[in-house]
Amino acid sequence: MTPQETRSRESAAGVPLVAMFWDMLRIRIIEEEIAVRYPQERMRCPVHLSIGQEAVSVGVSHALRKSDQIVSTHRCHAHYLAKGGDLSAMLGELMGKATGCCAGRGGSMHLFDADAGILLSLPIVAASIPVGVGAALAMRQQGKDDVAVIYLGDASLEEGVFHESANFAALHRLPAIFVCENNLYSVYTPLNERQPARPLADLGRAHGLATEFVDGNDITAVYLAASRAVDRARRGEGPSFLQADTYRWREHCGPNFDNHIGYRTEAELEAWRQRDPIAQLRTKLLASHMLDESAEAAMTASHTEEVKACFADAEGAPYPSVDTVSERVYAV
Amino acid sequence: MPSSPVITASEAIRHALEIGLEEHPDAYLIGEGVTDPSGIFGTTKGLLQRFGPSRVMDMPVSENGLTGIVIGSALMGQRPIMTHQRVDFALLCLEQLFNTAAKCHYVTNGHHRVPLTVRMVIGRGWGQGPQHSQSLEAMFAYFPGLKVVMPTTPDRFKGMLLSSIDDDNPIIFLEHRWLHYVTGSVPTEGTRVPLDGPRVAREGSDVTIVASSYMVLEALRAADALARVGRECEVIDLQIIRPLVIAPVAKSLAKTGRLLTCDTGWRTLGIGSEIVSRLCESAWGAFRCAPVRIGLPDHPTPSSLPLAQAFYPDSTSIVAAIGNMTELSPAKIAEATSIAAAARQGVPIDKPDPAFKGPL
């Protein structure tokens, strides 16, 4: 089976499992390649890898259409790629090249792709949340039935601006979907040292948002919950809050594993690896004969080839001219 | 035949908002109290009735969140006009203004635009004290990517607010509360005043006074008094704090050889500090005497009347400084000081001066 054949076969079933597998595998391969190449110091900016968390962004993105908008955070690679962000422009940005999505002005934490409905990414925790709600407000003002997805981490719930934004979205029943990726840590600080023992989703409920909790490593659950939220938003029934628990496999910032340094355990990582969203879906697809090993190998080869070509593009691309450094401070 | 009736600055602001909302279908007005019966000192009165609740919106008391929200809408093609009744409350929005609004255009290499006007009112008087009267233009002006506009006269309030609404950049539009009362001839149509730098408010040959906002009125009063004792001051109304256009100030300095700056905010690290620095760098030879900066002293605004009296410089402070710079005799300084002081007609410092009502 070619990937195209498997994709068309499963689309009849409603949940695009093979397409989502394709996307998760692609993001994993891209992120692993970034980790491998990072020590070469060609990507001269911080990188916050999404490895282990792919199911959330891929599951959500498959419930969206191109004109829907997302906003993201410092950990934006998977969100960007899952929504259809251009890979060469992403790698170019990581390398500070003129071909980068921000022409080298933003780095890895400012990914955006207007053509793909990726409005912006901001590295200040929770800063992009109101911007996403503002996109939803503009959709309402312009009479569109698009939706805005706001990716946020567990620590964002500690920021006042989350509550201000959720309150406003609920007040005006805006087509906003708050997707809280709870990966249990803010840098090195665990959730239980930052928040009392209460379900994160209760915060969404308290603001009057339609709220669901899902296993963030179960892509079917993510996809179905996101689809329900999108349907509500398009029908004008207001905003939703989706809590998806997951786990960041590598360090907060950088290419390495860090469970050995003392803030979380090796056993914890191992337990989450057992729940790898990609491996879980793979098992399911193989068992239901929606995927076989040769199709999987073809997918891997295709992604590997694409990643190699895009890295070569980015490495070969020119740096922005230094003559442009002071340009475009103001719009004219 | 176009007419220019005499109206107050607050009426001029309301006219500008009305025309801006009329001409830009993507513009909307949002702020705490914009739909109140009092309508932000009259500046938004009647706009809800005219444009409806989707164009004129009150908002939750969430300054930072709503700033991010209006920025997000601006990125999607809307043209928000946000209002804060005091600069001091707008301090809650700084993360969004400084990190997001000011940088979006640059970071996206010109792709994103943030056509956002943020009106902020500088309070003063009647014991408003430490957190209701701050004049923080220097802080906003520190950030490349923001434009900072501080008009003085009603025609400028209208024309510059319209230009701000038209502009595709984030604009901090600072309104000194006491200038809302000032009157002047204002064209009824939507005449724009470009956001292109200072204007000469009064010509003179002995000293260049660079002032902005309310301090322009105090400078003009000082200039009147000094003219009676033989000193001619050129008063430059800075108007646009960022991007700062220094050439007209340099040109005036070349003529007068003396420079006095008057901030409505703190003297230390104020706008005057930047102007003096730039001119020392670029026009050192033009100075006939050391430049002087006037501004607020290094402590918060006190509420009590006598303490506020000691806090705010006025036309007599300007007279004293210029008397020294131009080597006026003590008798003439005293004469000019009493002329300037008398112009206030004994109105206490915590109330707006009715003599400043204009028309300007």
CATH code for position A77: 3.40.50.970
Q: How many CB atoms lie within 10 A of CB B331?
A: 9
Cα–Cα distance between B341 and B345 in angstroms, integer? 7
Q: Which of residues 16-75 of A touch B (CB under 8 A)?
A: 69, 71
Are the beta carbons of A330 and B71 separated by less than 8 Å?
A: no
Is residue A149 situated within a structural domain?
Answer: yes
Q: Which of residues 114-133 of A touch B (CB under 8 A)?
A: 114, 119-120, 122, 124, 127-133
Query: Which residues of chain B make contact with A130, given a CB cutoff of 8 A?
Result: 64-69, 71-72, 96
What range defines the domain where residue A73 resides?
A: 45-271
- pLDDT of A13 reads 58
pLDDT tier, A7 (very low <50, low <70, confident <90, very high otherwise): very low
Among residues B185, B207, B239, the one where a domain terminates is B185
Q: Is B63 a catalytic residue?
A: yes
Q: Is B132 a catalytic residue?
A: yes
Same domain? B32 vs B136: yes
Q: Quick one: tokens of A235? A: 């029908």
How many CA atoms lie less than 13 Å away from A24 in the CB half-sphere? 31
- Helices (H), ranges, chain A: 3-11, 17-37, 54-61, 77-82, 87-94, 128-141, 160-171, 201-206, 219-234, 266-273, 277-287, 293-316
H helix count then E strand count, chain A: 12, 8
Question: Which of B63, B218, B234, B335 is flagged as catalytic?
Answer: B63
Same domain? B217 vs B314: yes
Cα–Cα distance between B242 and B248 in angstroms, integer? 15
Residue A3 has pLDDT above 70, yes or no: no
Quote the minimal CA–CA distance from A21 to chain B in Å: 31
Check whether the bond before B359 is cis (ω within 30° of 0). Answer: yes
Residue A8 has pLDDT above 60, yes or no: no
Q: pLDDT per position in chain B (360 positions), as tens?
A: 678 999 999 999 999 999 999 999 999 999 999 999 999 999 999 999 999 999 999 999 999 999 999 999 999 999 999 999 999 999 999 999 999 999 999 999 999 999 999 999 999 999 999 999 999 999 999 999 999 999 999 999 999 999 999 999 999 999 999 999 999 999 999 999 999 999 999 999 999 999 999 999 999 999 999 999 999 999 999 999 999 999 999 999 999 999 999 999 999 999 999 999 999 999 999 999 999 999 999 999 999 999 999 999 999 999 999 999 999 999 999 999 999 999 999 999 899 999 999 898
**Span A91-124, pLDDT tens digits:** 999 999 999 999 999 999 999 999 999 999 999 9
Q: How many CB atoms lie within 10 A of CB A104?
A: 24
Quote the minimal CA–CA distance from A250 to chain B in Å: 28
Among residues B152, B185, B218, the one where a domain terminates is B185
Minimum mean pLDDT range among A12-21, A101-110, A132-141: A12-21
The candidate with the shortest Cα–Cα distance to A303, out of A88, A101, A23, is A23
The candidate with the shortest Cα–Cα distance to B64, out of A108, A71, A76, A124, is A124
Residues of B with CB under 8 A from a CB of A: 26, 28, 54, 59-60, 62, 64-78, 95-96, 99-100, 104-115, 144-145, 147, 168-169, 243
What range defines the domain where residue B181 resides?
A: 6-185
Quote the minimal CA–CA distance from B33 to chain A in Å: 16
The answer to whether the beta carbons of residues B152 and B359 sit under 8 Å apart is: no
| DSSP designation for B179 | G
What pTM did the predictor assign? 0.96
Mutation to test the A interface, candidates B54, B55, B57, B69, most A Cβ within 10 Å: B69
The candidate with the shortest Cα–Cα distance to A24, out of A212, A217, A155, A211, is A217
Is residue B193 situated within a structural domain?
Answer: no
Quote the minimal CA–CA distance from A28 to chain B in Å: 26
Is residue B109 situated within a structural domain?
Answer: yes
Reading phi first (left if > 0) and then psi (alpha if -120 to 50, else beta), residue A187 is in: left
- pLDDT of A9 reads 45
What 3-state class would DSSP assign to A190?
strand
Residue A177 has pLDDT above 60, yes or no: yes
The answer to whether the beta carbons of residues B199 and B238 sit under 8 Å apart is: no
Is residue B357 situated within a structural domain?
Answer: no
Cβ-Cβ contacts under 8 Å for A252 (sequence gap 6 or more): A48, A185, A187, A188, A258
Rounded mean pLDDT, A319-332 = 98
- Location of structure tokens 């109290």: B33
The candidate with the shortest Cα–Cα distance to B311, out of B342, B350, B282, is B350
Element (H, E) at B49: helix B47-51
Residue A63 has pLDDT above 80, yes or no: yes
Domain count across chain A: 1
The answer to whether the beta carbons of residues A50 and A109 sit under 8 Å apart is: no
Query: Of B66, B78, B96, which is closest to A138 when you measure between CB atoms?
Result: B78
Q: Is the dihedral of CA B239, B243, B246, B247 positive or negative?
A: negative
- pLDDT of A330 reads 98
Are the beta carbons of A134 and B76 separated by less than 8 Å?
A: yes
- pLDDT of B1 reads 61
- pLDDT of B62 reads 97
Residue A192 has pLDDT above 90, yes or no: yes
Put simply, whether A141 touches B (Cβ < 8 Å) is yes
Same domain? B251 vs B304: yes
Q: Quick one: tokens of B49? A: 């009735």
Is residue B44 situated within a structural domain?
Answer: yes
Same domain? B172 vs B307: no
Same domain? B176 vs B258: no
Same domain? B208 vs B171: no
Burial of B290 (0-12, 13-18, 19+ CB in 10 A): exposed
The answer to whether the beta carbons of residues B303 and B129 sit under 8 Å apart is: yes
- What b/e readout covers A196-210, taking b as 16+ CB neighbours within 10 angstroms? eeeebbebbeebbbb
pLDDT tier, A135 (very low <50, low <70, confident <90, very high otherwise): very high
What proportion of chain A, given as a percentage, has pLDDT over 70?
96
